[in-house]
Amino acid sequence: MTDEQLLRYSRHILLSGLGIDGQQALLNSKVLIVGMGGLGCPAALYLAASGVGELHLADDDTVELSNLQRQIAHAQADIGRLKAESVADSIKAINPETKLVMLDMRLCGEALTEAVQQVDVVVDASDNFTTRFALNEACALARRPLISGAAIRGEAQLSVFDFRRDDSPCYRCLYHEVDDAALNCAESGVLAPVVGMMGSMQALETLKCITGLGETLVGRLLLIDGMSMEVRQLNLRRDPECPVCRLRG
């Protein structure tokens, strides 16, 4: 680590349980973030600022005016640009040392499998169940931790599915097939700070997965009601009938 890096990450290095070794682990890590929207923007910015060495940014969409209410890595001038490119520019302004891989495509099939295998941790910041189920299965087969977050209206949820651990449940243990049209921000709306809070928490869980700091949300589902600021936790277990967990063995 250079003198400049020691200064940049000094507030991390001071933390008991993280220190120089933990910061070096972050610098050596690779993280895939799927979705450069309300969750992915703050997650990407905080992971870059925290010193994650390489970020893979996946999104095939372009910036629209309605995104600017909550997707904080995009600006007015970015309307019409690819979201992955817009977020990449915001990251460069914060930490130019972060290596960036832009995936301006909708990941599926072999492309998704390959993208997951190339990183250490995956952040699911997508906005549909089809992508979430596919990501869950790819991470299970590759044994990569999956940081899963979601937000709608004033509500949010967060969990960690760490497939390095045999006892970890997966996303399919929690949800069976759900219609993508059932709940979405375009129809139901979403309160801007709620996605910012959840994306930041996804970044926090990612850092913990990489460094071993603290205790991750494996086996727990965090539920937040932003309207009342009520926070609940539910315990999760592997579902013996889960088709994804059966593939894991």
Euclidean distance between CA atoms 85 and 103, whole angstroms? 9
Per-residue pLDDT tens digits for 73-101: 999 999 999 999 999 999 999 999 999 99
Query: Which residue, 229, 225, 233, is CA-closest to 160?
Result: 233
Is pLDDT at 183 greater than 90 in this prediction? no
Specify the pLDDT at position 180: 56
Query: Which residue, 121, 143, 135, 127, is CA-closest to 41?
Result: 127
What pTM was estimated for this model as a whole?
A: 0.95
Euclidean distance between CA atoms 200 and 31, whole angstroms? 15
By the 10 Å C-beta count (0-12 exposed, 13-18 middle, 19+ buried), 182 is classed as: exposed
Specify the pLDDT at position 182: 56
160 Cβ neighbours under 8 A, 6+ residues apart = 145, 146, 147, 148, 168, 205, 209, 216, 217, 218
DSSP 8-state code for residue 69: G
CA atoms within a 13 Å half-sphere pointing along the CA-CB vector of 32: 26
Specify the pLDDT at position 168: 95
Domains and CATH numbers, the chain: 3-248 (3.40.50.720)
- Lowest-confidence pick of 8-17, 130-139, 184-193, 197-206: 184-193
Mean pLDDT of 178-184: 60
Mean pLDDT of 20-33: 98
What contacts 24+ positions apart, CB below 8 Å, involve 132-137?
Answer: 132/171, 132/175, 133/171, 133/172, 133/177, 134/107, 134/108, 135/34, 135/107, 135/171, 136/161, 136/170, 136/171, 136/172, 136/244, 137/172, 137/244, 137/247
